[in-house]
A and B are shown apart, each in its own frame.
Chain A
């Protein structure tokens, strides 16, 4: 029993070696377009606006307003 716990702890400790803080000056790759959540911020806003209005479910993306699409 204690051996398997020791093994588990060893593996867990090995996982920690993968922890790395990315410094602000190392964000070249992270700032690339392929790495963004949305490739085009404006387009995403437009799509979300239309989507929440057509679904009459405004608020799903954190926006205020009714289902008229006028906000």
Chain B
């Protein structure tokens, strides 16, 4: 025979267990996130040759920061578009910076060797930069204006997204 008191303790334990679980799930880390009209988080990451590039190196440019990975399907579609944008607008002051977040560098290298990418590619296998930018999906791109403020955040990528992105870049360049 289970006493009413025992039953009560079990109930209390159960409820507190659920509450503790919910608390653990909702506990959000207090890192900063890139927001539109706010300054973009700075970064310093190695490129393919190992030399470090930082966001400050591109100051005065319109910077298109794109977070990508070799295992991400939409990223595959974004590469030709980014290449075209680079070819078209690099001399007008657009810098495309594609930050790779692959944990295995070989995957990224294999991906890059199979396609054309003449824009800047940087590597962050530790995932620090996407966290600072508050990346919520792959790929996510951030359009940063000449003052270093985030102008537009684009999540995911479809082939048709290229036109909208190009328009935003044109607007930013015209200012």
Q: Tell me if A71 counts as interface (CB < 8 A to partner B).
A: no
Residues in chain B within 8 A of chain A (CB atoms): 5-6, 9, 12-13, 16-17, 20-21, 24-25, 67, 69, 71-72, 101-104, 107, 127, 130-131, 135-138, 140
Q: Which residues of B contact A27 (CB under 8 A)?
A: 69, 71, 138
Known: A28-B69, A28-B71. 11 other contacts (CB 8 A): A2-B9, A5-B12, A9-B16, A12-B17, A12-B20, A24-B130, A25-B67, A25-B101, A25-B138, A28-B103, A31-B71
Partner of B135, one of A5, A12, A13, A25: A25
Q: Which residues of A contact B131 (CB under 8 A)?
A: 23
Chain A contact residue count (CB 8 A cutoff) = 17
Interface on chain A toward B: helix, strand, loop, or mixed SS? helix
Q: Which residues of A contact B103 (CB under 8 A)?
A: 26, 28
Partner of A25, one of B12, B16, B127: B127
Cβ-closest 9 pairs across A and B: A25-B101, A25-B130, A31-B71, A12-B17, A16-B24, A28-B71, A19-B24, A25-B127, A24-B138
